[in-house]
Chain A
Amino acid sequence: MHPTSSPPAAGGKASSTPGRPSGRGRRLYTVDNPRKSATLTLMTVLFTLYCLLPLAWLVVNATKSQADFVSTFGLAPGREFALWDNIVEVFSYQDGIFSRWLLNTVLYVVVGATVSTFLAALGGYALAKLDFRGKRVFLFVVLGSISVPGIALAIPQFLLFAQLGLTNTPWAILIPSFINPFGLYLMWVFTAEAVPSGLLEAAKIDGAGELRTFLRIALPLLAPASVTVLLFSFVSIWNNYFLPLIMLKDPAWYPLTVGINQWNKLGSTAGNGALVQNLVITSALLTIIPLIIAFLGLQRYWQSGLSLGAVKG
């Protein structure tokens, strides 16, 4: 996100504007530091509890053995602390297929998010700074495609990919993840705002080609935007369930989401396989930890992306 439109208070604590009375000691309404409200805090805390309760439940129950899981109260710790045992068992169950699923997921996320972000930057740059035939039609179709439900598209994609012999290979997951119309849109807006055309002209006058100008001048300026688009792609690919569910038959290519549900089915009330809920819960916790780290660590990029999307959209 470019510096001028990012909210000043997003990074640090709001500071009171110099030259204005700080409001301490007098009951004057100040914009940056009003009196805290107990009622508003309480209401927000209640909703926060609703948001954190399932995650707390997950953490507590990942520390329980299967026997404790079925016999102890959901939010209380079990009789033994079995988190490490559970983690070891998750990685060794079914010949260690969990590590395979984890590697698959990392492959899909790293390749998919990198390629989709680069393609979005390239395309967004072309839309904002270059000219080509059919630009308006292209924009209309791509922006229109944002409102096509992804799942309605997945079945046609499956039918086509089956014809092309791509199903049950990693390409069936990777190729659809390369295209991120919303990312292209964000990159278009970012480029128009954050990359000065004069700088590009100067580079070209100095003899740089179009590609070199893009790579050396535009791409570094687009770095904050790229992080935002990378994040959106990262989360959506990591969490993707439907596409791999229909595209893949061989468990060796499953990502974590489909794999976990496979284990969940083993222990389902309807099935008659082994009950491995402790493994399902522990693997679910392991699945969301990288996402939560990415989320909390890169929070400000979410906000800048959403603010552009919301204001311009």
Chain B
Amino acid sequence: MDRARRLDVTPTATASPDAAPDPAPARKRRRSQAGLAFIAPFGALFALVFIVPILYAAYLSLFQERLLGGTTFVGFANYGKLFKDPQFWDGVGRVFRFTLVQVPIMLFFAMALALALDSMRVHGMRFMRAAIFLPYAVPAIVSTLMWGFLLGVKYGLFGSLNDALGTDLDPFAPGNTLISIGVMVTWAFTGFNMLIFYAALKAVPRELYEAAAIDGANEFQIVRAIKLPALRGSLVVTIIFSIIGTFQMFNEPQILPTMVANSGVTTYYTPNLYAYNLAFTGSQQGYAAALALVMAAITIAVAYAVQIRGLRNASDQ
């Protein structure tokens, strides 16, 4: 078995000297043992934190907790029940709608800001880059608190605004709550995505712009012909991160009801909130385990579909 040749999985050519001289068999065996020893701590903990919980959840999802008779084996009944559960699908539909609207808006802003900063045509560029990235450092609990107060009508700015204008706007009326959550999430993550785009733009060789400038290309032509194509790969990455993030939305709808009464946030507002409430207040752990697994499967399927599509589009070029 020639495992030394397999090093081509490493991402750069710097690794190739490894494969060139044929190490003595004893040396190779030692290397292999060292490799296992180095990876073992990560591997063991990874199994404990990722693999065993998933297998255990799969096992638990085959049982139901009943008031009479305790926990009984029910086969796939939890999954059958889940697929007919309107509360589950209500939450799934909400995160899908949220993703379809919020993610494009956020990524549009992130990309526009990255292009603006990269163009070097903005005053105070370093300050604003830091300021826009800053919200990413703020925990969801603090961001929900701040926005809950800011947008709230009781103590918040909207209360003052309504008093001043004599209006009756309520960002946390049941019909508006999802939009307000969108404002919070966009606030928190635009800077993170902007920095990913910005880093990709910085990786473009500057000579390309000089050559384009010499050819008489204007700024918009450079953006269209050089910069936007350079952002393709990072766009796929940011879409996938955003989908994973919004599909598991939990903190904002979990914290909001303690801030604002009658915001329309139900116990099944998002699938994860539903799973949490099933497991911890409804003590239906088997059902919650089934829900967590189905939601993970849906998320991975959607993320994978985006990736395949993104790669295909990139190779079309």
Contact = CB atoms under 8 A, between A and B. Distances in A.
B217 to A, nearest CB: 9
B276 A157 contact: no
A136 B124 CA distance: 46
A175 interface: yes
Nearest to A14: B120
A44 B113 contact: yes
A44 B128 contact: yes
Contacts of A211: 34
B60 interface: yes
A34 B280 CA distance: 58
A207 interface: no
Given A29-B213, A155-B279, A214-B38, A179 B50 contact: yes
Contact of A147 (B6, B36, B210, B300): B300
B244 interface: yes
A214 to B, nearest CB: 7
Given A57-B149, A119-B41, A197-B17, A145 B160 contact: no
Contact of A310 (B34, B147, B199): B199
A265 B50 contact: no
Contacts of A312: 11
A135 interface: yes
B113 A284 contact: no
Dominant SS among interface residues on chain A: helix
A211 to B, nearest CB: 8
A264 B39 contact: no
Q: Which of B119, B123, B157, B280 has the most CB of A within 10 A?
A: B123
B9 interface: yes
B31 A74 contact: no
Dominant SS among interface residues on chain B: helix
Interface string B32-73: 111111110111011011111110110010000000000000
A268 B258 contact: yes
A153 B53 contact: yes
Interface in B279-299: 279-280, 285, 288-289, 292-293, 295-296, 299
B248 A152 contact: yes
Interface stretch (A80-88, A93-101, A296-304): A296-304
Q: Size range of the interface on B?
A: 35 or more
Nearest to B34: A210
B121 A48 contact: no
Nearest to A290: B137
B165 interface: no
A159 interface: yes
B48 A192 contact: no
Q: Size range of the interface on A?
A: 35 or more
Contacts of B18: 129, 197
A241 B45 contact: no
Contacts of A311: 199-200, 203, 233-234
B23 to A, nearest CB: 10
B159 to A, nearest CB: 8
Contact of B149 (A29, A74, A307): A74
A257 interface: yes
A160 B56 contact: yes
Given A7-B203, A287-B142, A156 B54 contact: yes
B137 A69 contact: no
B130 A284 contact: no
B42 A122 contact: yes
A37 B123 CA distance: 8
Contacts of A309: 196, 237
Contact of B46 (A142, A150, A310): A142
11 contacts: A5-B203, A135-B35, A139-B9, A148-B50, A152-B248, A155-B279, A156-B293, A175-B48, A288-B142, A294-B137, A296-B130
Given A126-B35, A150-B248, 4 more contacts: A55-B146, A133-B32, A241-B139, A257-B142
